[in-house]
Structure 1
Amino acid sequence: MGDLGGVVLRSGGPADAGAVLRLLDDATAWLVARGRSGQWGTEPASTDPRRIAQAEAWATGGGLWLAQAEDRPVGALVVGTATEYVPPATEPELYVNLLVTDRAYAGRGIGGRLLAHAADLAHERGVGLLRVDCYAGDDGALMRWYERQGFTPTAPFTVDRPNRLPWPGQLLTRRLRPTH
C-alpha cells in the first residue's frame, strides 16, 4: 500500500508488536541522548509490562500500519479511538494513537506519509476529523512538527502519573475535506 522512495506502507498484525516496541525503544534512546526524557521516559518500552501490553493491543486491534524499508519496519502508525485523557470529540473522528519513526530514516517524510495515510483512512470511513495528542513539554518542537503537518492545537492537558512528574500534553486536530 503506497510507496515512498523505497518505503512501503502495509497493515500490521499480531506479529508486529515486537517491531513497534523496537521503534519505541530506539526513539526513546534517541530522545534520552538529546536530554529529552520527558516524552517517553528513560527506560525501553520493551522492558515495561504496560508498554508491552499496549504494543500487543495495538498489533491485534486492527489499526496498526507500518512503513517498511527492505523488510524492516521504519515507522508505525496506530489509529482508532481517542485515549481517555483527552476531551472527547463532538463529532465522528479518527484518532492517531501512535506515530513513531526510525530516526535512521529521519528526513525522508515517513511520519508525514503515515499521517497522510491516517487522513486517507478517515476519508474512506467518511470521517471529517483527525485528532492526535503529543508531548507538549521541552521546547514544543513536536507540537510544531504536527502543525507543519496540517494540525491545529486545540486543548492542552496534563496526565498525572503515579511516582512520576505529570506529563504535559497537547491535543491537535486536522479538518479533512467533506466526504459528501
Structure 2
Amino acid sequence: MTWTIRAGGPADVPTVLALLDGAGEWLVARGRTGQWGTGRQSESPRRLRQAESWGRDGGLSLIDRDKTPVGALVLGAVPDTLPPATVPEVYVLLLVTSREHAGQGIGARLLAHAEAVARERGASQVRLDCYGGDDRALVRYYERQGFTPAEAVEFPLPGGILWPCQVLVRDL
C-alpha cells in the first residue's frame, strides 16, 4: 500500500466535494446532523464556493492511497470570525477523509503534513476549528492527535440556532 500526499488544484474540487458528501452521509446515518445538517455538501452553494476557492488558492493537499484520493487538507488564513493568531501559525481550514477507509490513519497523516508545513514556514503552532457540539467526539479526535482546546465560539445560523465551534491548537 502506497500513501502519497500531493498538492491539489481546481481539478480536485469534485474529489473534495465527494469526500465531504461521504462524510456528511456518514454523519447523517449516525444521527449526527448538528455539524453539517442533512443536505449534500456538493449541493450547497456556500460549500461549492468554498471548495472552488480551496482549489485555486494553493492550500489544498490530497492524500492518495494507491493513487486513489482518500482525504483532503486545506491550509489557509484563519477565518475572520475567529480570534487572530498570537504567534506564527498554520491554520487548518479543512480536514476530511474517506469514511470507507476509516481507521487507517489518514487524518493523522494529513495533520502530520500540516505540522511539517508549519515547521517549514517557521510557525510555532498548528491551529484549527471544528464542530464542538453533541458529544464532542470530533474535539476528542483532535485531542488524540495532540491538539489542545482553546477558545469555544458559537455562530448564529438561520432559525436562531447557535453552531458550537471549538478552536484547537497544537504547539510545535
Describe the shift of the 1:111–1:164 C-alpha distance in structure 2 as closer, same or farther (beyond 3 A): farther
1:113 matched to which residue of 2?
Answer: 109
Q: For 2:146 and 2:19, locate their aligned partners in 1 and report how far apart those are by CA, in whole Å.
A: 24
In the TM superposition, residue 12 of structure 1 has moved relative to its aligned partner by 0.3
In the TM superposition, residue 91 of structure 1 has moved relative to its aligned partner by 1.6
Q: TM-score, normalised by structure 2?
A: 0.97
1:98 matched to which residue of 2?
Answer: 94
Report whether the alignment pairs 1:58 with 2:32.
no
Q: Which amino acid aligns with 1:37?
A: T
2:140 matched to which residue of 1?
Answer: 144
Q: RMSD of the TM alignment (CA)?
A: 1.0
Percent identity over paired residues: 56
In the TM superposition, residue 86 of structure 1 has moved relative to its aligned partner by 1.4
2:125 matched to which residue of 1?
Answer: 129
1:20 matched to which residue of 2?
Answer: 16
Report whether the alignment pairs 1:78 with 2:74.
yes
Q: Please identify runs of 4+ aligned residues in structure 1 that moved more than 3 A.
A: none
Q: TM-score, normalised by structure 1?
A: 0.93
In the TM superposition, residue 164 of structure 1 has moved relative to its aligned partner by 5.9
SS of 1:155's equivalent in the other structure is strand
2:40 matched to which residue of 1?
Answer: 44
Aligned residue pair count: 172
Per-residue CA distance 1:97-154 (angstroms, 9 max, x = gap): 0000000110100000000000000000011111000101111111011011010001
Q: Find the partner of 1:33 among 8, 29, 32.
A: 29
2:156 matched to which residue of 1?
Answer: 160
SS of 1:111's equivalent in the other structure is helix
Q: Which amino acid aligns with 1:132?
A: L
